[in-house]
Amino acid sequence: MATVNEEDADGDTALDIILMRKYKTVIDSDAVVLLLEASLPFDPVTGEPLPNQEHKYGWGSAVQSDDALVVDAVETVLDKYPHRISDFTNATDSKGRCCLDIASSTCRELMLKRLYLHGRFEVKRGPPEHRSRTSVVYFAVDHTDLLREDIHRRYSGFSQDKEKKGENNCPTVALKFMKNRDQYEREVGIRSTCDFDSRYVLSCVKDYDGDSQVPDNVNFRTDAILKGYGEYPYCVVMEAGTMSLKQLVDKQNIAGEDWDAVRNLTRQLAKAVDHIHRRGVIHGDLKGKSM
C-alpha cells in the first residue's frame, strides 16, 4: 500500500491502470477499494487535505468512470466515510474541477443521495428560516426519486431565483425539527384530525418519529444525526410558505404606504384565524415572524 501511487514506466499509478482498463486479469473489488482509499485527496478520518503527490488525483479520476468495478468501489468508500461526503464531492481533479461536476451520472447520483438528508432533502445552506427554544425550521428541495443525469449543480447553496421553485420541478418544503415529543405529536395529530384547508394551514407532507423503530424513521434519524440535527429527534415536513408577514413587510414596503395591500393581508389573516377557530383550535403564538 505504501507504493500504490507510484508511477510505472508509462506514468500510470495502479488505479490509473484499472481506470484505463489496461489490466488483463480479474481484479478483486476489495483491491480497488483499497487503491481508491489510498488515492483520496484528504485524510478520510480527519478531513485534512493531503499533498497532490501522495494521491495523484485518483478520486477525481475514479468518479468519472462508469465501469461497474470502479462504481462499486466508489459506493463502498462513500458508505465507509459518510461523515466526509462534502469532502468527497468538493474535491477537485488535476484541472481544478469539482468532483460533483465532472462525475459520471452513476457516481454523481451516488454522491447526491448521500449529500441530501435521508437521500431526499437538499437542505438550504446557511442559517435556519426560523429558530425557537425547542425547534428549528429549514427550507429544502425535496428530490425524492427525481435524481437524474441532468443534475449538475454543486451543493453550494440556493440561488435567489431557485430558492422557492427548487430544481427539476422538485417542490420546496419546510423541515421543522423539534426537540420535544409532545410538540411533534401536536403538529402531526392536529393536522390529521382537524381537516384544515391548505389555503390557511400548511399541510404535512411527511413526518419522522425519532423514537420509532420503523426502518424509514430509523434511517432518517441516523442521517439527521450525521448531518448535525442530532438534538432534534422529531421532524415534520410541510409545504414551504412563500414568505412570512415580516419578510413581506420588510421587502415590499407596504406598511404605511399601500393601504389596499394592508387591508387585503389583514383580511387574509382574519380568515385564517377564523378557520382554525372553527376547527376548535387556538394558535397561541401569533406573531410577525410566524405569519
In tens, the pLDDT along 76-97 reads 999 999 999 999 999 999 899 9
* Angle, vertex CA 31, rays to CA 70 and CA 105, nearest 5: 10
Q: Is the pLDDT of residue 291 over 90?
A: no
Decide: residue 75, CB within 10 A, 0-12 exposed, 13-18 middle, 19+ buried: middle
pTM of the model: 0.76
What whole-number percentage of the chain has pLDDT above 70? 90
Within 124-244, residue ranges assigned H as helices are 181-194, 215-226
Closest CA to 174 of 135, 133, 215, 119: 135
Q: Is the pLDDT of residue 147 over 60?
A: no
Distance CA 176, CA 179 (A): 10
Please report the sign of the dihedral spanned by the C-alpha atoms of residue 21, residue 26, residue 28, residue 34.
negative
Closest CA to 222 of 214, 236, 210: 210
Distance CA 53, CA 27 (A): 25
The residue written with cell numbers 410541510 in the block is 238
Tell me which of 157 and 72 has the higher pLDDT.
72
Distances (CA, A) of 63 to 75, 82, 114, 165: 10, 16, 14, 29
Q: Is the pLDDT of residue 220 over 90?
A: yes
What are phi and psi for residue 204, nearest 5 degrees? -90, 120
Q: Is the pLDDT of residue 290 over 60?
A: no
Closest CA to 143 of 120, 168, 164: 120
Q: Is the pLDDT of residue 276 over 70?
A: yes
Q: List, in sequence order, every residue forming a beta bridge with 141; answer none if it has no partner.
A: 122, 172
Q: How confident is the model at residue 169 (pLDDT cuts 50, 70, 90)?
A: low
Distance CA 94, CA 38 (A): 16
Instruction: Over range 252-276, report the average pLDDT.
Output: 88
Distance CA 36, CA 15 (A): 7
Distance CA 263, CA 268 (A): 9
- Side-chain-side CA neighbours of residue 132 (13 Å): 13
pLDDT at 157: 43
Q: Pull the grid cell for residue 9.
A: 514506466
- Across the chain, mean pLDDT equals 85
Q: What is the pLDDT of residues 116-146, one digit of tens each?
A: 999 999 999 899 988 999 999 999 999 875 4
- CA end-to-end distance (rounded Å), the chain: 59
Tell me which of 127 and 159 has the higher pLDDT.
127
Distance CA 42, CA 45 (A): 9
Decide: residue 77, CB within 10 A, 0-12 exposed, 13-18 middle, 19+ buried: buried
Q: Is the pLDDT of residue 164 over 60?
A: no
Question: Where do the domains of the chain lie, and which CATH numbers do they carry?
Answer: 14-115 (no CATH), 121-242 (3.30.200.20), 247-290 (no CATH)
